[in-house]
Amino acid sequence: MLRYVIRRILYAVPILIGVLLLTFFLFFGTQSPDSIARRNLSSRNPTPAQIKQWLDDHGYNKPIGVQLKKSTVDMLLFNFGKSDASGEDIWGRIKQGAGPSGTIAGLSFLTSLFVALTCAITVAYFRGTYVDNYATLLCVLIMSISSVVYVIALQFFLAKVLRYGPVWGFSPQDNARFVLIPVAVGTINGLGASIRLYRTFLLDEINQDYVRTARAKGVPEQLILMKHVLKNAMVPLITSNVSAIPTLILGGLLVESFFGIPGLGTYTVDAINSQDFAIVRAMVFLGTLLYIIGNILNDICYALVDPRIRLE
């Protein structure tokens, strides 16, 4: 397994370099260094001398090849540099925003996983009955409603009517009140799709021969579902969840924007709106790296859950 992980890490290096090259050329293909300088300078009508000085300070006056090499090497060494707009240290800002983003996204993920899996097991147990039919209808209804509707509705009922928490902001000292409503939004938002997906995984296993054999031996249906079916359905369950765990640190763009959470999602959106290439480049690199880590964890968990799987 160690050889497999090392080989996957080596394979990831060309992918990271390719993403950095694509990001670099796409950004500079849409605007010139002079336009970047004009947008980030405080003066409305900067002089050529001011523009030249800004380009010198940020390294945009160097040849494209030199900039590309330096940018790629810096990213691979996690030297993200400073923001084009504000001049703040990007790595420091990422570490600052990782806490709120990880808290909101992590709690939403765990809560959604628990609720969805519990509901899916219940629906699978009552398969073919009115419980299954109504649950499927409810899941489709949840999936059909826009995420914005959940944000506005839960803000109104939980914050305005029931006063369970504030609508805006985040405080590390009192994060329980600030994360309640965003976590509720994140949980409900993907609940319908998750329940239907997990239900499908469980029903696929229920129709297998080993389940019919267990029933013939008189094993109770509850024990079959919890001990045998759920265990054998873990591989597809892992597929749909483990790869998403590392990317949770990036947070949710929609939730953070609507609730004013100073996390990485808000940081990325602000950078895109201001066309801050230094931040966008760093966040794209970080997202790609986390995605690769998630896929490697996915493969490792396959082998841990199912001994028949060998990583070669």
Is 38 within 8 Å of 44 (Cβ atoms)? no
Partners of residue 89 on adjacent β-strands:
82
Q: What is the structure's pLDDT at 115? A: 93
User: Which residues of the chain register pLDDT less than 50?
Assistant: none
The domain segmentation of the chain, as residue ranges, is 2-91+265-291, 96-262
Q: What is the structure's pLDDT at 135? A: 92
- Alpha-carbon distances, residue 215 vs 81, 158, 162, 224, 232 (angstroms): 63, 46, 48, 8, 16
The rounded radius of gyration (Å) of the Cα atoms in the chain is: 24
CB atoms within 10 A of CB 301: 20
Q: What is the structure's pLDDT at 307? A: 65
96-262 domain in CATH 1.10.3720.10? Answer: yes
Q: Is 72 exposed, middle or buried (0-12, 13-18, 19+ CB in 10 A)?
A: middle
CB burial string 244-266: b at 16+ within 10 A, e below: ebbbbbbbbebbbebbebbbbbb
Pair of tokens at residue 300: 């490792």
Q: What is the structure's pLDDT at 111? A: 92
pTM: 0.82
How far is 249 from 279, CA to CA, in rounded Å?
A: 16
| pLDDT per position as a tens digit, 65-75 | 888 888 888 88
How far is 12 from 208, CA to CA, in rounded Å?
A: 37
| pLDDT per position as a tens digit, 102-124 | 888 888 889 999 999 999 999 98
How far is 185 from 178, CA to CA, in rounded Å?
A: 12
Residue-level length of the chain: 312
Q: What is the structure's pLDDT at 42? A: 66
Cα 261–chain centre separation: 15
Q: What is the structure's pLDDT at 164? A: 82
